A and B are shown apart, each in its own frame.
Chain A
Amino acid sequence: MAQFKEIHCTINGKSVTTVVDVRASLTDMLRNDFRLTSVKKGCEVGECGACNVIIDGECFNSCLYLAAWADGKEIRTLEGLLGPNGELSDIQQAFVDEAAIQCGFCTPGFIMTAVEILESGKRYSDEELRKLLSGHLCRCTGYENILRAVRKTMEKRLAAREN
């Protein structure tokens, strides 16, 4: 098997071509080749959620997703959420406002799962939100303010849609 493979994919809206080591993870590719350092390494075996990114609309721990599988995929990372003039998206702003960030290492992964939740357009109960967010570990916040930030943004978006 060849050790390297050329892949084409879309990263944060931009079409790219790159050559990857077939053994490399998507985390390695995004961090090393594209310097998307919001993609964090906390365990590299899919336990902590710090490396979470959205692939074709669905969240994945990029540490156990091979870079080679990204061929033809649309990938979104935290860097892609910022508006054209550097504005924070509503969910990023909610994390800031609700003091849901401490050391900040789990934050990018959490926000990307929140994006997936919010884009579903559904209203979830607190219990459901807890379950949907439970793929991420955080040692600083006790999860409390993260829940507040996601819930608040969900309600805001739903209210905006209803009006």
Chain B
Amino acid sequence: MSTSVGKPIARVDAFDKATGRAKYTDDLCDRSALIIKIVHSTVANGLVTEIDTSEAEKIPGVVKILTCFDVPNLPFPTAGHPWSTDPSHQDVADRLLLNRRVRYYGDDVAVVVAENEVAAAQAVRAVKVSYEEYPVILDVFDAMKEGATQLHEGFPGNILAHSGFRNGDYEKAIQEPGLIKVEGWYNTPTVQHCHIENHICFAQMEAGRVVVTSSTQIPHIIRRVVGQALGIPWGKVRIIKPYIGGGFGNKQDALYEPLCAWVCTQVGGRLVKLDCAREETFVSNRVRHAIRTHIISWVRPDGSFAARKIECYSNQGAYASHGHGVGAKGMNCFPQLYPCANVEGDCWTVYTNRPAAGAMRGYGIPQAMFAGESHIDDIAKALGIPPLEYRNRFVMHQGYVDGFSKNENYYDTFRQVLEKGEAVLEYQKKYQQYQNQTGPIRRGVGCAVFWYNTAVWPISLESSSCRMVLNQDGSIQVQTGETEIGQGCDTAYSQMAADAVGIPVSDVHIVSTQDTDITPFGLGAYASRQTYIGGFSIKQTGQLLKERILKYAQELTRMPVANLDLVDGKIVRVPDGRVLMSLGDLATEALYSMTHSEHITAESTYQIKSNAYSFGCSFAEVEVDIPMCKVKLLNMVNVHDCGKLINPALAEAQVHGGMSMAIGYGLSEELKFDPKTGKVLNNNLLDYKLSTFMDHPTLEARFVENPEPTSPYGTKALGEPPACSGAPAIRNAIFQATGVAIDQCPITPHVLFAAFQEAGLFEEVCK
């Protein structure tokens, strides 16, 4: 029997995307739409005292201006999490559709609705907003200071949340004689997702309901949030999600769907469109949390850990969004990656006047890995142990089980991926070669590992629903609530469905669009959950459909079901392998039969109560020009164990993209803020240094395929993991090349200049 899973088939949407036929949100919006443009605050911390719209209203084409004084007083949460029916686990509801109390430079204070873009843009400029201003707070420590302006009521010290853990006895353990203390502070920047399609949505009322088409990762969650924000029953909201031009977590949040839906209701239900400019995407959507991490390790001379401590200060920005979940996820991987009996951890998530931080590819793990894996090289250096050897000795071993998630490390994955990455980069040879260099141009190699949890169980709900419908020709439609956002899940799902039912993949028609009126309930694309979580309901529903098909085949063939199978789209008598009929003939008979007509379909929900570790590593080779303070990335290798590959070609492509994001994180990307006003200084793709074609070496993606025993397809997370370990590998390569430990990213020439100067490298080179 031929199987589809495991084959590098072309994407099911590739033809439409290669020809421009694939429709994205803006391509679907009727030209009659009224245009919504947002008036953003020009102070980072303050209170709107007055809005004068008189001049703006005179501009021809302006239909309506709505301000923060007009919106319903219904604070709502925006995070793309499954709703919790337990109030203590619900996301923080801390913003209104438009905000009078503004908390970042770019907050939403009013909207203009106009007949065209030009009138809308002119009117936005003509709206006059007066503010009462408060001091601007951009850093977590300033926000936590006594006397700092409180950004939200009920959160003293601007602390959105604090969590921690105490394993063993840290204070006692550090008394052990002969311990070496290694301590560091590691800082990561505020960065943005930079999907090429900006967030966009349009809304109109149909049959008394508001229908929103949106570039989102999470249509069913958006329906709930729009209902909450407008104070209307959730069934009165319909969300449609077409193809989207990337998301990376930014669109795992209710961005402007609630505002667009509400404005629609304020103009008689007419069609309205809200299309973010790139500049707005950078500032007024979501960003990645900047996190300051403090790590203390007490190690024995042989390298083993006696005790460890971690403190994380996560910069939440203006609104809670995904909030504490991001910093906490990063902190909680710390005691697991390098197990140690005595570990203390604390994470504070702190409101500041930066743009709101939400989900972004890796969800706290890229920050945690930059800190944790930089620190491992600092330990290795302090002890004089080669860093790769150190990792091989102490990183999580086979058989490790996490008490909370019950995740188990079933294989000796870490050593397998490190071995493979070492071989591809020729790390050992180069490591020896690059020791003790002198001169202005030096090379180095570095490595870093990562840990990533697939999906969100047991923190919150994990479930997936799937529907399969049999057509006359024996092909099927497949629908799930999980969304295609570019990662290729439509293709992986088609392959899984083909195998579950027993038909060729060409007979699977996946419905890419999610429409909350039509699509089974599902939570969307996040937490690298798609293949793992979707796989459960696809397998279950496929089996259900197959059972119904074989039951009908029993009627037609008079053979017992136990003797029948569906193979490659044919009803086969198992004992002798004879093909009795095609599925197409069966399906046609089933629909049009004068004796027993039946539309054969299947639909089911699977609630997942397991989770899976996804592991891997990065190796980097750099050349550092010390006088120029420039780093050239010469080679980069990522090795992943994401279980069995559903589609090796798409898996490799996925890894390339994550590596690219990690390179930007390590070397160039950072949103810069004016310290006085809090204004973002580089809210465009020219000044924000996203990796370009010129910034990459050849990207090498490799895999170790250890089948994940909890998944029906042996698979686990790969969406986010490729972005997790690249930046610290680059940092560690620079460390080997120069002997200078850089404890912040991005590692730009400005950062290197200061660090090299402090280390006396310029004098050394000039000698």
A residues with CB within 8 A of B: 23, 31-32, 36-38, 40-45, 47-48, 50, 77-79, 81-82, 88, 92-93, 95-97, 99-108, 111, 130-131, 133-134, 136-145, 147
Contact = CB atoms under 8 A, between A and B. Distances in A.
Nearest to B488: A102
Contacts of B198: 41-42
Contact of B660 (A48, A50, A95, A142): A142
A139 B22 contact: no
Interface in B462-490: 485-488
Interface in B29-69: 31
Interface string B211-252: 000000000000000000000000000000001111010000
Given A42-B197, A105-B24, A48 B277 contact: no
A103 B196 contact: yes
A42 B278 CA distance: 7
B591 interface: no
Interface stretch (B7-15, B71-79, B495-503, B553-561): B7-15
Contacts of B485: 103
Nearest to B687: A47
Given A92-B19, A103-B246, 11 more contacts: A42-B198, A92-B18, A99-B650, A101-B18, A102-B488, A106-B245, A139-B660, A141-B653, A141-B657, A142-B691, A143-B693
B696 interface: yes
B659 interface: yes
A25 to B, nearest CB: 11
A49 B691 CA distance: 14
Contact of A104 (B13, B690, B692): B13
B195 interface: yes
Given A78-B19, A102-B487, A138 B196 contact: yes
A96 B696 CA distance: 22
Contacts of B652: 99
Given A44-B278, A130-B694, A144-B699, A111 B195 contact: no
B196 A99 contact: no
B197 A99 contact: no
Contacts of A143: 656, 660, 692-693, 696
B11 A96 contact: yes
Interface residues of B, number: 57
A79 B17 CA distance: 11
B323 to A, nearest CB: 24
A23 B121 CA distance: 13
B197 A40 contact: yes
Nearest to A129: B693
B533 interface: no
B488 A95 contact: no
A75 to B, nearest CB: 14
A103 B215 CA distance: 12
Contact of B18 (A111, A131, A133, A134): A111
Contacts of A82: 19
A143 B686 CA distance: 18
A5 to B, nearest CB: 16
A58 B690 CA distance: 25
Contacts of B659: 142
A37 B20 contact: yes
Q: Which of B8, B487, B653 is most buried by chain A, counting CB atoms within 10 A of its CB?
A: B653
A104 B194 CA distance: 14
A43 B685 contact: yes
Nearest to A94: B18
B649 A139 contact: no
B674 interface: no
Contacts, number: 164
A142 B656 contact: yes
Given A143-B696, A144-B698, A137 B19 contact: no
Nearest to B651: A99
Contacts of B10: 96-97, 99
B685 A48 contact: yes
Contact of B19 (A38, A130, A139): A38
Given A102-B488, A130-B694, A139 B14 contact: no
B749 to A, nearest CB: 20
B2 to A, nearest CB: 21
B17 A47 contact: no
Contacts of A31: 26
Contacts of A50: 196
Nearest to B700: A144
Given A45-B684, A96-B11, A104-B13, A140 B246 contact: yes
B518 interface: no
Contact of A142 (B118, B194, B196, B696): B696
B694 A139 contact: no
B692 A134 contact: yes
Contacts of B15: 88, 96
A102 B18 contact: no
Contacts of A97: 10
B731 interface: no
Contact of B653 (A92, A102, A107, A133): A102
A44 B660 contact: no
Contacts of B196: 40, 42, 48, 50, 103, 105-106, 137-139
A72 to B, nearest CB: 25
A114 B536 CA distance: 41
A84 to B, nearest CB: 14
Nearest to A107: B17
B661 interface: yes
A144 B696 contact: yes
A133 to B, nearest CB: 5
B546 interface: no
Contact of B244 (A23, A92, A103): A103
A88 to B, nearest CB: 6
A99 to B, nearest CB: 4
B27 A37 contact: yes
B64 to A, nearest CB: 23
B393 interface: no
15 contacts: A44-B278, A79-B19, A81-B19, A95-B18, A99-B8, A102-B653, A104-B486, A105-B195, A105-B246, A111-B18, A133-B693, A136-B693, A137-B196, A139-B194, A144-B656
B539 interface: no
Nearest to B491: A99
A120 B267 CA distance: 53
A41 B278 CA distance: 10
Contacts of A79: 19-20
Contacts of A92: 18-19
Top-6 shortest CB links A-B: A38-B20, A103-B486, A105-B245, A104-B17, A142-B656, A142-B660
A139 B20 contact: no
Interface string B651-694: 01110111111000000000000000000000011100011111
Given A78-B19, A140-B246, A43 B278 contact: yes
Contacts of A37: 20, 23-24, 26-27
Contacts of A43: 278, 684-685
Contacts of A134: 692-694
Q: Which of A32, A102, A136 is most buried by chain B, counting CB atoms within 10 A of its CB?
A: A102
Contact of B656 (A42, A47, A93, A141): A141
Nearest to B686: A47
B245 A130 contact: no
B559 to A, nearest CB: 42
A140 B486 contact: yes
A36 B20 contact: yes
A36 B485 CA distance: 22
Contacts of B691: 142
Interface in B616-646: none
A153 to B, nearest CB: 12
Nearest to B24: A105
B573 interface: no
A107 to B, nearest CB: 5
A144 B660 CA distance: 9
Contacts of A88: 15, 18-19
Contacts of A131: 693-694
